Amino acid sequence: MKQAYQKSILENGLRMVTHRMPERQSLSIGIFIKVGGRYENMGNKGVAHFLEHLLFKGTKNYSCRMIKESIEGVGGSLNGFTSEELTCYLIKIPSIYLDRALNVLSDMVIRPLLSEVEIKKERAVILEEIKMYRDLPQSYVYELLDELLWPNQPLGAPIIGTVDSLTETDRHKLVSFKKKHYTVSSMVISAAGDIDEDKLDNRVNKIFATLPKKRENLFSVVKESQDNVRLKLFHKDTEQTHMALGFKSLKRDHPLRHALGILHVILGANMSSRLFNEIREKRGLAYEIGTMVKRFYDTGAFLVHAGIDNRKVPDAIGLILKELVKIKDNLVTEGELNRAKEFYIGQLKLGLEDTMEHMLWIGETTATLDKTYSLSDIISEVNRVRREDLLKVARSLFKENNLNLSLIGPVDLKEDKIRKKLILN
Report the distance separating Cα 420 and Cα 425, nearest Å.
13
**Kind and range of the H or E run holding 77:** strand 77-82
Report the distance separating Cα 365 and Cα 172, nearest Å.
32
Give CA separation, 262 vs 42, 256, 321, 371, in Å.
35, 10, 18, 22
Report the distance separating Cα 40 and Cα 84, nearest Å.
10
User: Got the DSSP string for 225-254?
Assistant: ---S-EEEEEE---SEEEEEEEEE---TT-
- From 11, 23, 40, 52, active-site residue: 52
Report the distance separating Cα 26 and Cα 19, nearest Å.
12
| Nearest CA among 13, 303, 341 for reference residue 146 | 303
Tally of CB atoms within 10 A around 140: 21
Main-chain dihedrals φ then ψ at residue 27, nearest 5 degrees: -135, 150
Is 52 noted as a catalytic residue in this protein? yes
Report the distance separating Cα 278 and Cα 289, nearest Å.
10
Report the distance separating Cα 264 and Cα 143, nearest Å.
21
Tally of CB atoms within 10 A around 2: 8
Catalytic residues: 52
